[in-house]
Amino acid sequence: MLTKRLIACFDIIDGRVTKAVRFQDNIDVAPAEELAHILYEAEIDELIFYDITASSEKRPIDIETVKKVAQLVFIPFTVGGGIKNLSDMYETLKAGAEKISIDSMAVRDPSIITAGAKAFGSQCIVLSTQVKREKNLPSGYEVYIDGARKATGLDAMEWIKRAEELGAGEICLNSIDNDGTLLGYDLNLMKMAQGKVSIPLIASGGAGKPEHLSDLFTETETQAAIISSMLYSPRLERNFAVKELKEYLLTSNIPVRPPSC
For range 104-133, the mean pLDDT: 97
- Work out the angle at residue 76's Cα, subtended by the Cα atoms of residues 35 and 117, and round it to the nearest 5 degrees: 130
Taking the C-alpha atoms of residue 121 and residue 186, their distance in angstroms, rounded to an integer, is: 30
Write down the pLDDT at residue 147: 78
Is 130:143 a contact under the CB 8 Å cutoff?
yes
Using DSSP bridges, classify how beta strands 141-145 and 150-155 pair: parallel, antiparallel or unpaired.
antiparallel
Mean pLDDT throughout 158-166? 98
Give the separation between CA 243 and CA 141, rounded to whole angstroms.
Answer: 34
Q: What is the pLDDT of residue 20?
A: 64
**Over 70: is that where the pLDDT of 25 sits?**
no
Q: Angle at which helices 210-219 and 187-194 pack, to 10 degrees?
A: 30
Task: Look at the pTM and tell me if it is higher than 0.75.
Answer: yes
pLDDT, the chain, mean: 93
Amino acid at 126: V
